[in-house]
Structure 1
Amino acid sequence: MLNIGRKQKLVVVKKVEFGIYLGETREAGEKERVLLPIKQVPEGTKEGDELEVFLYRDSSDRLIATTREPKLVLGELAVLNVAATGKIGAFLDWGLEKDLFLPFKQQTRRLHPGDEVLVSLYIDKSDRLCATMKVYHFLKTNSPYVVGDIVKGRIYEISGNFGVFVAVDDRYSGLIPKREAQADYHVGQELECRVTEVKEDGKLSLSARGKAYEQIAIDAESVLSVIEEFAGVLPFDDKASPEVIQREFGLSKAAFKRAVGHLMKEKQVVIRDGKIWTAEKAK
């Protein structure tokens, strides 16, 4: 069987002026053959030889073979460059003559030429190979990581219900839960995260923040910087709503209160009249 989207070894059935026909056996009928264009044929190839090729569809939607190495095959993931964008989607450079089509409905963010995107390969209803940025079901769950490990990943989707989905090493399934996802994230962003849990199914729970005792000083410095941008007087205190705190600081209310507490302990800020003042401004 000729398998589109995969590399396979086929036998040279017939030589013609414009290339060679390949099949699973030398007896393969016309409907069981695929053309390898003449410019792809290795020198000295003869009938009966076995060649490893990749099958896809050319610009005329005909099944075609190539000896070139694709950057992506069915069931795998790869980071590809956007070669062009159009009215119906984007086109990706995947190492073959015909660029790989990425339909709009399979995109998770707006793309521009030169962007890098993590994608997988699928066969659409018309039996054509297409790319998708919706890679959740293609990610592996057998990572070598354990709780406490620092990993690198790429955001591939953001959910208001669940959090930020991250492809660790561009291949393993990870998630920054909604309660942890307090920053201004975007699809395609690369992160360094800490593994907080390895679930029974192998998926990773992640945090882009350090351990609480390590993070407090970092958050405190950030909070102080924002207060200074307000001319040294923040127009609300640590009793503000979580939405206001998230908008102004990108922190959860709990993290904000810890940071303010740290600053008060260090005598860098004071709370007075429902506002937070820098020590200098409060004098």
Structure 2
Amino acid sequence: MINIGKINTLRVVAQYPFGYALAPIIDNDSDVYEDREHDDTPTVTLAIDEVTTPLADGQQVDVFVATDQRGDLYATLKVPHILVGETKVLKAVSATNFGAFFDWGLDNDLLVPNDYQAQPVSAGMHYVVHTFFDDKTKRILGATKLHYFLKEGGAYLNEGDKVECLVYAKTDLGFKVVINQQNLGLIFHSDAFKPLKVGQATDGVIKTIRPDGKVDVALQRVDKSGRDELQQAILDDLEAHGGISTLTDKSAPDAIYSHFNVSKAAYKKALGALYKQKKITLAPDAIRLNKAN
């Protein structure tokens, strides 16, 4: 079968003055493609001007299968910025009374109809867009209304899981994020210890899965395991640098985040715990690893 909106490995079954007919690979050892008049296998056309080196009959080629404005299929050697089913940041290039068009790396821009826009789109701005194949129009379309396609529940997620997040909206509560390209979640402002903005990718940790299934995400682990992990990271860092570090509880939050990927508050708590355990000595300008450790 031909997967619309995906990269397909297809086989050349015919050549015409305007391009090549490509079909799915059913059996490499079969002669099923020799007589196209008696073969109802679907084909897609790759334009001749896309090919720099002529293709041979039966040759396999990797192509992206797209749809034109009429919904007809065509193949291209160009790889778009986004495939069907993915959610990524795209730039809007124009807006009309029926929808907005986004640059996705192909000659024909990606249409996001008005009904699929979370808010009016402005040309030149970047938005988080999900792509899908619309059975009604037979076209590949985009959407910024992500909840139409991504679930708010986290059935496959567990608290403490490390995840990849993409910020897609800012609210009074915090930042809405796409989790692992599959789910929607929220980073509360209190858990966002570094600046975040729409379209930004960031690592995160599942903080809480609520009774209704909705997912809260933190930028760092806040449970005992996370605290122990940070304390050990500090000790390892001291050991690697001769038992001394100038990164103290007075250091700038950005410096602490850059080094340990945690908030200043978490770092100060970890230093306090290590001090109480007599594993480090604190001074205004440095922390030192106690010789006993």
- TM-score grouping bracket, smaller chain normalisation: 0.5 to 0.7
**Aligned position for 1:138:** 150
Q: Which residue of 1 aligns with 2:58?
A: 48
2:4 corresponds to which residue? Answer: 4
Q: Give how far 1:157 is off.
A: 7.7
Q: Answer yes or no: is the 8 Å Cα contact 2:22–2:46 preserved in 1.
A: yes
Q: What SS does the aligned partner of 1:32 have?
A: coil
Conserved in 2, the CA contact under 8 Å of 1:20 and 1:41?
A: no
Structure 2: unaligned runs, 5 residues or longer = 26-32, 192-196, 223-293
Alpha-carbon distance between aligned partners in 2 of 1:138 and 1:17, rounded to the nearest angstrom: 43
- The answer for the alignment partner of 2:67 in structure 1 is 57
* CA distance, structure 1, for counterparts of residue 137 and residue 64 of structure 2: 19
Show the counterpart of 2:122. 112
Structure 1 CA distance for aligned equivalents of residues 70 and 201 of structure 2: 40
Q: Is it true that 1:36 corresponds to 2:46 in the alignment?
A: yes
- Cα offsets for 1:171-211 (capped at 9, x unmatched): 6531257x979xxxxx9475988853256998631469xx9
Amino acid at match of 1:130: L
C-alpha distance in structure 2 between counterparts of 1:150 and 1:2, whole Å: 32
Q: For 2:83, which of 73, 83, 88 is the aligned residue?
A: 73
Report the more deviating stretch, 1-10 or 92-101: 1-10
Return the offset for 1:100. Answer: 0.5
Cα distance, 1:80 vs structure 2:
0.9
Partners in 1 of 2:94 and 2:12 — Cα distance?
Answer: 35
Give yes or no for contact 1:152–1:168 (8 Å, CA) kept in 2. yes
Taking the TM superposition and a 5 Å limit, the aligned residue runs for 1:1-283 are 1-24=1-24, 26=33, 29=39, 32-124=42-134, 125-136=136-147, 137-138=149-150, 146=160, 153-156=166-169, 165-168=176-179, 173-176=184-187, 188=198, 196-198=207-209, 204-206=215-217
Provide the C-alpha distance between the structure 1 equivalents of 2:54 and 2:180, rounded to a whole number of angstroms.
41
Corresponding letter in the other structure for 1:155: Y
Partner of 2:262: none
**Paired residues of 1:35 and 1:65 also in contact (CA < 8 A):** yes
Contact persistence 2:89–2:199 (CA under 8 A): no
Residues 118 and 170 in structure 1, CA contact (< 8 A), matched pair in contact too: no
Do the aligned residues in 1 keep the contact of 2:165 with 2:177 (CA within 8 Å)? no
Distance 1:98 1:64 in 2: 12
- How far did residue 91 of structure 1 move? 0.4
Structure 1 pair 43–84 and aligned structure 2 pair: CA distance change class (3 A): same
CA distance in 1, matches of 2:90, 2:215: 24
RMSD over aligned Cα atoms: 4.1
- Measured after TM superposition, the shift of residue 150 of structure 1 is 11
Aligned in 2, Cα 1:205/1:35: closer, same or farther, shift over 3 Å?
same
Offset of residue 154 of structure 1 = 1.0
Q: Given the superposition, is the C-alpha separation of residues 45 and 13 from structure 1 closer, same or farther in structure 2, using an over 3 Å criterion?
A: same
Structure 1: how far apart are the matches of 2:94 and 2:4? 24
Please give the alpha-carbon distance, in whole angstroms, between the structure 1 residues aligned to 2:107 and 2:213: 38
Query: Partners of 2:57 and 2:182 in 1: how far apart?
Result: 40
CA distance in 2, matches of 1:11, 1:42: 17
- Aligned amino acid, residue 150 of structure 2: F
Question: Relative to 1, partners in 2 of residues 1:34 and 1:146: Cα closer, same or farther, differing over 3 Å?
Answer: same
Determine the C-alpha separation between the residues in 2 that align with 1:191 and 1:4: 27
Amino acid corresponding to residue 146 of structure 1 in structure 2:
G
CA separation of 1:127/1:151 partners in 2, compared to 1, >3 Å: closer, same or farther?
Answer: closer
8 Å CA contact 2:159, 2:207 repeated in 1: no
Describe the shift of the 1:200–1:36 C-alpha distance in structure 2 as closer, same or farther (beyond 3 A).
farther
Distance 1:168 1:41 in 2: 38
2:243 is matched with which residue? none
Measured against aligned partners, the alpha-carbon deviations of 1:105-144 in whole angstroms (never above 9, x if no partner) come to: 1111221112111111112212111001122343695679
Are the structure 2 counterparts of residues 113 and 202 from structure 1 closer, same or farther at C-alpha, using a change threshold of 3 Å? same
Aligned partners of 1:117, 1:153: CA distance in 2, in Å? 11
Alignment check: 8 A CA contact 1:81 1:115 kept: yes
Q: Quick one: percent identity of the two aligned structures?
A: 25
Any conservation in 2 of the 1:108–1:156 contact (CA below 8 Å)? Answer: no
